[in-house]
Amino acid sequence: MRTEKNTMAGFTLIELMLSMVFGLIVLSGLTSVYLAVVTSSTETLKNTKLNSQLMTIMGVMADDIRRAGYWSNSNLLAPTDNPFNQVDDSRLVIVTSVANNTKIVDDSNVDGSCILYSYDRDEDGLVDNSSSSFEYYGFRLIGGTVQVRSSGSVTQGDSCTNGNWYDLSDDDLYQIDTLTFNPGNSSCANSSEPDGSDSDNDSNTDVDDEDEKNCYKVAATAGHVTVETREILITLAGSLKNDASVKARYSQSVRVRNDLVRLR
């Protein structure tokens, strides 16, 4: 009777060590990939959070500024009688800053960090200025925070310091590095031109120059009606408080729907 001897073979020490080395290499690669994905996801989350917040603030400002000068005008009065477009009272005004309370000329390519305006929110035809019904509005940048006006009166010196303001941006999570309003793309048309007279008194042989139609270039004389189309460029930029390297910046041009009609 013949018998066979069964033998069992295992790993040698060298083979076992090589297996462990290869395993560590694979594990290290997987760990690196995992860490890269986690880091990328964290950065994406931070950027998404900041972008979302800034886009929301920009949307709120653009939608509200677009309404400046709105008047229900149920009695069909002349546009020049619009109580929400009165100079030194309810008309849209851009101010250089809270600290330097200087008004910016309507068509100048200059940035301001505060804007004031009014519109007929309750459609009663009156500019309301009480705690129960307030129709003077504004936005400003102060201390890295965007604030919105909750009460006050533009008649108080067109000042960005009067009235009550509350925070629109969350200064615990991020700070606003830039908020500017620029009226440089606004335009003004003298509806009385051509009027057959040399309003700018220049050396040009033409009685009615092309420039005379632009009441920003040539001031309209008494009795002339002008129509101003306001276009405001808003720029907003911010960064995260816990990671200043995460930044975002947005710009949007807002066409105010209600033109400013004035009798000079």
Q: What is the pLDDT along the chain (264 residues), one digit of tens a residue?
A: 555 555 556 667 776 777 777 777 887 777 777 666 656 556 667 778 889 999 999 999 999 999 999 999 878 888 889 999 988 888 999 999 888 888 898 888 999 999 999 999 888 888 887 766 778 899 999 989 999 988 766 665 567 888 889 999 988 889 999 999 999 999 988 876 665 565 545 555 555 566 677 778 777 777 888 899 999 999 999 998 888 888 999 999 999 999 999 887
Whether the CB-CB separation of 204 and 176 falls below 8 Å is answered with: no
Provide CB contacts within 8 A for 208, sequence distance 6+.
193, 194, 195, 196, 197, 198, 199
Prediction pTM value: 0.78
Q: How many CB atoms lie within 10 A of CB 50?
A: 19
Q: How many CB atoms lie within 10 A of CB 62?
A: 17
